[in-house]
Amino acid sequence: MSSSSRRSRSRRAGTSVSSSSSRSISEDQISDLLSKLEALLPDAQARNGAQRGPASRVLQETCSYIRSLHREVDDLSETLAALLASDAVTAEQAAVIRSLLM
Amino acid sequence: MRGPTAKAFKQGFLRSFLLSLKSCRTGDMSLQERKRAVRSSADAAMATARGGGAIWPRALLASSSSSPSSSSWPGLLLNAAKVKTTRCKSTARRCCRPKRSSSEMIARRLVRKRTKILRGMVPGGELLDSVSLLREAMDYVVHLRAQVAVLRRVSNAMHHMAATSYLTGLDLSRLAQGLLHRVCN
CB A58: neighbour CB atoms within 10 A?
A: 22
| pLDDT, mean of residues B138-144 | 97
Q: Cβ of A13 and B131 within 8 Å? A: yes
Q: In the prediction, which pLDDT does A60 show?
A: 95
Q: Which of B154, B161, B180 is opposite residue A92, by nearest beta carbon?
A: B161
Q: Say if residue B181's pLDDT is above 70.
A: no
Q: Which long-range contacts (CB under 8 A, 24 or more apart) does A43-52 make?
A: none
Residues of B in contact with A34 (CB under 8 A): 134
Compute the distance between CA of residue B140 and CA of residue B54 in angstroms, rounded to an integer: 9
Q: Are A56 and B111 in contact (CB under 8 A)?
A: yes
Contacts of B175 in chain A (CB under 8 A): 92, 96
pLDDT (tens digit per residue) in A73-90 = 999 999 988 877 765 445
| Predicted TM-score (pTM) of this structure | 0.74
Mean pLDDT of B41-51: 95
A5: chain B residues, CB-CB within 8 Å: none
Residues 28-47 of B with CB under 8 A from A: 31, 34-39, 42-43
**In Å, what is the CA distance from A54 to each residue of A35, A50, B166, B173?**
10, 12, 56, 52
| Lowest-confidence pick of A15-19, A49-53, A77-81, B28-32 | A15-19
Given a cut of 90, is residue B145 above it in pLDDT? yes
The set of long-range contacts for A47-54, using a CB threshold of 8 Å and a minimum separation of 24, is A54/B107
Which residues, numbered 44 to 73 in chain B, qualify as contacts with chain A under a Cβ-Cβ cut-off of 8 Å? none
* Option in B26, B34, B117 nearest A63 (CB): B117
Task: Give the model's pLDDT for residue A86.
Answer: 61
B1 part of contact set with chain A, CB < 8 Å: no
User: Is the alpha carbon torsion for A5, B77, A12, B95 positive or negative?
Assistant: negative
Q: What pLDDT shows up at residue B69?
A: 47
The per-residue DSSP string of A39-90 comes to HHSTTHHHHTTPPPPPHHHHHHHHHHHHHHHHHHHHHHHHHHHHHHHSGGGH
Nearest CB partner across the interface for A96, out of B88, B110, B172? B172
Instruction: Reply yes or no on whether the pLDDT at A56 is more than 70.
Output: yes
Cβ–Cβ contact B167 with A under 8 A: no
* pLDDT of res. A66: 98
Indicate whether this complex's ipTM tops 0.90: no
Chain A residues inside the 8 Å CB shell of B80? 1
CA distance A53 to A35: 8
Cα B54 to Cα A61, B11, B169: the distances in Å are 22, 19, 46
